[in-house]
Amino acid sequence: MTIVTLGGRGEGTVVPQLGKCGSWFTRWALWTRPRPWVVFTLIVETCVAALIVAAFVMVPVHPGDLVVFGVLLALGIAQAEMSRRGERLRRQLSETPHINMTAVWLVPGAILLPPGLAAVLGVLLYLHLGLRSWYRLHSVAPCRMMASAAVVVLSCFASSGALMVFGVHANALIGEGATPERTALFVASVLAFELVNATVTAVALYLAAIETPTARMLFGSWEDNALEFATVCLGGLTAAVLIYQPILVIFTFIPLLVLHRSVLVKQLEVAATTDHKTGLLNAVAWHNLARVELSRARRSKTSFGILMVDLDHFKRVNDTYGHLAGDAVLKAVADAVKGEVRDYDSAGRFGGEEFAVLLPGISEADVVATAERIRHRVTTLAVDVPLEDGRGVVDSLSASIGVAVYPYGGPDVEGLLLTADSALYKAKDTGRNKVVSVAA
């Protein structure tokens, strides 16, 4: 299931005005979130609470439902305990969004249980994850966990509702034979779960974004969606097993644990090549890609460009606003750089406030034009940053950029970097906030 991990956007943050006796309340992480996200989240959570109450009033719970509920809860907790250490590490490595494996148990709960009981299953599984796997992780504030739990519970209601719209009670599928109609309802129920989860999560991410987010930011990468789809499919298979051969549900554990471990390995591989403050490539990974591009350019007798980007007067940001604010500025600049280059270009952070950009198959004029776009984009940034007494905005930023183009700027990666670095220092020495290209 997707966990909404949020930053800041829009109309500022919500800061309740209370007396000293309410100071503990005003320190909640919830109030540091952007106002549109807070309002949306509170609306979703209120609707979920009302739906739970209405579900228990309108749909009775039978003893057999409690047995299925107990089995799914026990299996979900057992799986979470067996993968707890890996989940903590995955959660620490994750950027937005984080996807866990609870759908494997929530999808069958939504299909086989009365809606109210399915909602309680979601709440309890997320409560267990919060207490056992995410407790005291800096990236998981209680408000985020509650928001994520509300989204999956709403998804459970959508899945149950897909069955109830056609007059099928949730537990009526148990013991029945497979027919085309029941299969279609089964698939519709699974798809409703995923559709609502993806849509509500995307809306929350949109309301939380500092700048207008891309489709990838809202809906994740192909790899994220493949993992999400895999967990939902496993949930559907688990439901089918519980309907027709309940004893075989134990075999769900092996592929689930292997999937969880393989995702962790992938995240570790990404972490080994990524700068954790900006999400760009680290220096080692960027150099490796640059050497690969150099070999390709030599074989095909083509050119490529390298940019060295350095923030002007960045020390003033750290000295004035603090290092957390400086980190927020670095992340915003990194996002700006990525937003002005092509998907197959490679941006990396070399340390401090210095970035490098690799631009394959491009002329010098286009390299300079790209550098100018980046320089201009940086000047337009207004970065929301954390301060000791709340939030603030850092603007009036600028960057100096040095340009080198293969083969004229140097015969190898080191020579090109020296040329770009020389151009960068010339930009700084002649007034900053400019792009300079120096021939070798």
pLDDT in tens, 383-415: 888 777 777 888 889 999 999 999 989 899 999
List the domains of the chain with CATH numbers.
Answer: 2-273 (no CATH), 283-437 (3.30.70.270)
Q: Which residue has better confidence, 167 or 261?
A: 261
pLDDT in the model for residue 22:
47
pLDDT in the model for residue 212:
67
Report the C-alpha gap between 69 and 39 in whole angstroms.
Answer: 32
CA nearest to 308, candidates 370, 362, 382 = 370
Answer whether residue 240 shows pLDDT above 50. Answer: yes
pLDDT in tens, 135-159: 666 556 677 778 888 998 999 999 8
pLDDT class of 207 with cuts at 50, 70, 90: confident
pLDDT class of 418 with cuts at 50, 70, 90: very high
Q: What is the mean pLDDT of residues 35-46?
A: 87
DSSP 8-state class, residue 246:
G
CA nearest to 28, candidates 36, 38, 89 = 38
Measured CA angle at 113 (ends 112, 119), to 5 deg: 130
Report the C-alpha gap between 225 and 236 in whole angstroms.
Answer: 16
Which residues, 6+ apart, have CB-to-CB distance to 95 below 8 Å? 5, 279
Q: Look at strands 399-406 and 435-437 and give their pairing.
A: parallel
pLDDT class of 232 with cuts at 50, 70, 90: confident
pLDDT class of 15 with cuts at 50, 70, 90: very low
Structure-token pair, residue 405: 């183009």
Answer whether residue 132 shows pLDDT above 60. Answer: yes
For the chain, give the percent of residues with pLDDT over 90: 34
pLDDT in the model for residue 401:
96
DSSP 8-state class, residue 433:
S
Q: Which of 64-68, 162-166, 177-181 has the lowest mean pLDDT?
A: 177-181
Q: Which residue has better confidence, 357 or 9?
A: 357
Answer whether residue 298 shows pLDDT above 90. Answer: yes
For the chain, give the percent of residues with pLDDT over 70: 82
pLDDT class of 54 with cuts at 50, 70, 90: very high
pLDDT class of 206 with cuts at 50, 70, 90: confident
pLDDT in the model for residue 417:
93
pLDDT in tens, 272-292: 788 888 889 999 899 999 999
DSSP letters spanning 144-207? HHHHHHHHHHHHHHHHHHHHHTTT--GGGGTTPPP-HHHHHHHHHHHHHHHHHHHHHHHHHHHH
Tell me the backbone φ, ψ of residue 194, rounded to 5 degrees: -70, -40
pLDDT class of 360 with cuts at 50, 70, 90: very high
Answer whether residue 234 shows pLDDT above 80. Answer: yes
DSSP 8-state class, residue 113:
S
pLDDT class of 221 with cuts at 50, 70, 90: confident
Answer whether residue 124 shows pLDDT above 90. Answer: yes
pLDDT in the model for residue 311:
93
Answer whether residue 349 shows pLDDT above 90. Answer: yes
Give the number of C-alpha atoms closer than 13 A to the C-alpha of residue 263, restricted to the C-beta side.
27
